[in-house]
Amino acid sequence: MALAAAAAAVTSIHPFLSRPTRVLRLPPLLLRASSSTSTSDFNITFAEPAPSKKASGPGPSAQPLVPWIARGADGKPCLHTTPPPDVLQAVAAAEAEAKRAKRDASRSQKGAGAVTDAPVASVKAKEKKAAPTGPPKFSKAARRFYNENIREHEPQRLAKVLAAAGVASRRTSEELIFQGKVTVNGSVCTSPQTKVDISKDSIYVNGNRISKKLPPKLYFAVNKPKGYICSSGEESKSVISLLDDYLKGWNKIQPGIPKPRLFTVGRLDVATTGLIIVTNDGEFAQKVAHPSSNITKEYVVTIDGAVHKKHLVAISEGTKVDGVKVVPDLVEPLDAQPDAKRTRLRIVVHEGRNHEVRELVQNAGLKVYALKRVRIGRFRLPADLGIGKMVELKEADIKSLEGNT
């Protein structure tokens, strides 16, 4: 009876044995009460443990010691105040098994979630892969701030910097560099590919220092009159001269910033009128004007003489310009204007080679009386823009110039 009470006390008090999920096998070590064992073998008495010196009252620190009865090395039972080693090992193994089961269950749940979300994750991965690597798209004001204050101050090729600063065209700037007329930080530079930072480097051309501020990017649509040439020189009848009044007030509009060097995007011959773009953005000009961009241009051609179906077929079949076969995208007659005796044709091309429209018409046996360009990309010449007048383009207009209808 005493042993049964001790076992019950051990089960109810000891922290390791109070857990119902732990199964402890103690028969090999714990003393069993049986009829064959005499009480004389158990010369053991239980006494109340001495109170702890630190314990001043009831609580966990004042709990009595739990007795453990186990056989010693000599095979005789004895009293211990700590659990036997195999009991501690059994408890540790059970706890480890529980942790392992919990971890496996958690992994299985995560795996099921991953399988469920696999299509979504695949779509997200594709979207992430297809995302552009360039600068992120923010608001217009943020992009403008980035272009004017950050992008423009990144190291760029010396010839490009000189052209952007209004010194000369890029080709002329390269010639100035080759001639040794450009110095960077006190040393003569003869390589146009040299990377410079205009905000940090000191650049001189013919002894004149280049401003550390670059003019902003400008874009204008001009209704070119007949007799004006698309030249960046100082000719009195150049398209750039049509913006002289705007440039005269530059110092008041942009104090402390050098005047921009403007040039035309592509060319119209001296007898052709209509839409021409003027800018100081070389990359933009190259993109719009180069034949590889395939940006469409629409022209209205006034024919001197009668136009028949065979003429329209001949124009549609195309012709060779500079040794390259060019074929128009569209050829159609326009409605006759009141009090107008001459026929007008609408011709749309995408390569924009030199004199391309004139060559197409003349190759069909027709004579051009007047030629006017009315559209580039999706941007159409404003109907209220008078001959010889210009209008500054907005961001939406600039984007429409780079795309087709």
Write out the catalytic residue numbers.
269
Q: Hey, which residues does 276 pair with through a beta bridge?
A: 222
SS3 assignment, position 88 = helix
SS3 assignment, position 372 = strand
Which is nearest to 230 in space by CA: 284, 285, 176?
Answer: 285
Q: Hey, which residues does 209 pair with through a beta bridge?
A: 204
403 within 8 A of 377, measured Cβ to Cβ: yes
Residue 284 CA to its chain's centroid (Å) = 20
**How many Cα atoms occupy the beta-carbon half-sphere of 160 within 13 Å?**
14
Phi, psi (rounded to 5 degrees) for 124: -65, -40
Q: Are strands 390-392 and 219-224 parallel, antiparallel or unpaired?
A: antiparallel
Instruction: Please tell me the distance from the alpha carbon of residue 404 to that of residue 332, in angstroms, as a whole number.
Output: 19
Q: Hey, which residues does 321 pair with through a beta bridge?
A: 324
250 within 8 A of 262, measured Cβ to Cβ: no
192 within 8 A of 174, measured Cβ to Cβ: yes
Which tokens is 365 given?
Answer: 């046996």
Distance in angstroms between the alpha carbons of the first and the last residue of the chain: 103
Dump strand ranges (E) for 120-198.
Answer: 156-157, 182-184, 187-188, 195-196
